[in-house]
A and B are shown apart, each in its own frame.
Chain A
Amino acid sequence: MNAHSPTLAAGFVDPVHEAQTCFRAVLDALAEPGTARAVAGITEPPAPLSAVAASVIATLADFETTIWRDAALATPAVDAWIAFHTGARLVEDPREATFALIADAANAPAWDAFALGTDLDPSTSTTVILQVDGFDAGARYHLAGPGIETTRDVAVAGAPADLAARGRANRDLFPRGVDLVLAGPTAIVGLPRTTRLEEIG
């Protein structure tokens, strides 16, 4: 692997340990919805793919998985980066996606456009990695469900305006449904299908 290729920005410097650290951040984010978990590792992936989203996808995707990316991310540079660093197959049908990468949150497809899993195996649903602006400002949500002792509040800047309604529709499908990883500038927040989401302004 030539990590210094001018056309393919570098992946993890220390793949084994950086991927482990990033995985634990994703695991903790989904196990404790609404908590921000720092993610570092990959720097300067091709725009508009964010470093945090790139780290998550490099940690989890490989040739056994498929990736759907939105129109904003469907550039030759991003496609080449994904192919080189993950080996995952790109798909145009969101229902075939193991992972979805979304940079243009405002125009994200409805969650039920993705793979929702089956009643027999709801684990075959898409994990949606949604790039957002951060967790210090923006719309505020009241969360409840597994992983949350009572309730937890989280702010998300740059999420789809109808995030709470999307969450309700997704939860109605339980145990089927997508799981969300919100990728901010330096951290992620997990919103698994079990989380109840209420917008509080």
Chain B
Amino acid sequence: MNAPLSPQTAPAATGYNFAYLDEQTKRMIRRALLKAVAIPGHQVPFAARDMPMPYGWGTGGIQVTAAILGSGDVLKVIDQGADDTTNAVSIRAFFQKTANVAVTTRTAEATVIQTRHRIPEKPLKAGQTLVFQVPIPEPLRFLEPRETETRVMHALADYGLMHVKLYEDIAKHGHIAKTYAYPVEVEGRYVMDPSPIPKFDNPKLSMSPALQLFGAGREKRIYALPPFTRVKSLDFEDHPFEPTRFEAPCALCGATDSYLDEVVTDDRGTRMFVCSDTDHCEERRADGHRGLLAGDDLVDTITREADVERDDGAPIVPLP
């Protein structure tokens, strides 16, 4: 793991548009963002541009970040909670190079946080913006493959089929089987896909002081949650929503309230559960918190699922 990054700037490369995108593209994305904020949870179409990386790298989130970023921002990029995966490092370097923007790994210091598959553990503050990379923006896609039909369902707020599907899960498994990309209802109107975050993170979506923006590059959709928007995970009176809980604390920092990843600690395949949010874990360790496997030497040897480069937007394997 790398040492924490404090806000720092490097000279911007010349020959790029600021933050890569041309001004006309930024205006188009900005107009979509304003309408997304005005209609929380509604997927606003936008004319996504080709970016110098494949779709699985989060081009939708990158375009949103590029459209909002200013020279005074401090950017943090996380991939499944970690600042140091190939994907997070590449996106951070991209904006350092094209926008000369200050970067950080510390959640509290960031003004803009681009994320794939997690919401930081540290509660976000007013003035912060969280940008989600979204592979599939349509929460009804698995029920109805036709875009023309799902748009009508959203227009009519016809979410009966979604409820039937979730209730079938309960009949079959005794609980709703979805553990990530768990659908939410926004302000009692639109049903929205929160991106493949673990359902553990769903409660953080609601009434957050931060602005939350969602960008889907391949499917060309932008949607948003303004600060202090009511977001409810879909559930039933007799089967209320329950976020994932973990049996054991983080092996490194002892946290009992963070989302844990199973990691490999050595070449014999020894496994342990540690915070998925690397900044949170490091900050707790810096404050003197230790888990059962306190060994500081272990920190540098663990292999995270997220270190494996992938371009299919697949979620990590959820814990049982």
Show the binding face of A for B, using Cβ within 8 Å.
15-17, 19-21, 23-24, 26-28, 30-32, 59-62, 64-65, 98, 118-123, 125, 127, 146-149, 174-175, 179, 192-194
Contacts and interface: CB of A to CB of B under 8 A. Distances in A.
A146 B226 contact: yes
A23 B224 CA distance: 16
B228 A146 contact: yes
Contacts of A127: 34-35
B187 A146 contact: yes
A59 B24 CA distance: 10
B40 interface: yes
A67 to B, nearest CB: 13
Given A122-B42, A192-B38, A27 B33 contact: yes
B230 to A, nearest CB: 8
A19 B228 CA distance: 26
Interface in B19-72: 23-24, 26-28, 30-40, 42, 44-45, 67-71
Contact of A175 (B39, B71, B224): B39
A147 B68 contact: no
Given A19-B23, A31-B211, A121-B45, 12 more contacts: A20-B18, A30-B38, A60-B34, A62-B27, A64-B24, A121-B44, A123-B35, A127-B35, A147-B37, A149-B227, A192-B38, A194-B187
Contacts of A28: 211
A53 B76 CA distance: 33
Interface string B180-224: 000000010110000000000000000101010000000000001
A117 B23 CA distance: 25
A167 B226 CA distance: 19
Contacts of B31: 60, 65, 98
11 contacts: A24-B68, A27-B30, A32-B227, A65-B31, A120-B151, A121-B44, A147-B37, A147-B226, A147-B228, A179-B35, A193-B38
B70 A24 contact: yes
A109 B32 CA distance: 25
Contact of A31 (B37, B69, B152, B155): B37
A26 B32 CA distance: 12
7 tightest Cβ-Cβ pairs between the two chains A and B: A123-B35, A192-B38, A119-B155, A147-B226, A146-B229, A31-B226, A123-B44
Contacts of A30: 34, 37-38, 226
Interface of B: 17-18, 23-24, 26-28, 30-40, 42, 44-45, 67-71, 151-152, 155-156, 187, 189-190, 207, 209, 211, 224-230
Nearest to B155: A119
Nearest to A98: B31
Contacts of A15: 23
Contacts of B44: 121, 123
A120 B26 CA distance: 24
Given A31-B37, A146-B229, A16 B18 contact: yes
A175 B227 contact: no
Contacts of B17: 16
A19 B68 CA distance: 10
A139 B230 CA distance: 29
A175 B187 contact: no
A28 B112 CA distance: 13
A87 to B, nearest CB: 10
A27 B68 contact: yes
A31 B23 contact: no
A65 B42 CA distance: 21
B95 to A, nearest CB: 13
Given A27-B33, A120-B155, A149-B207, A62 B39 contact: no
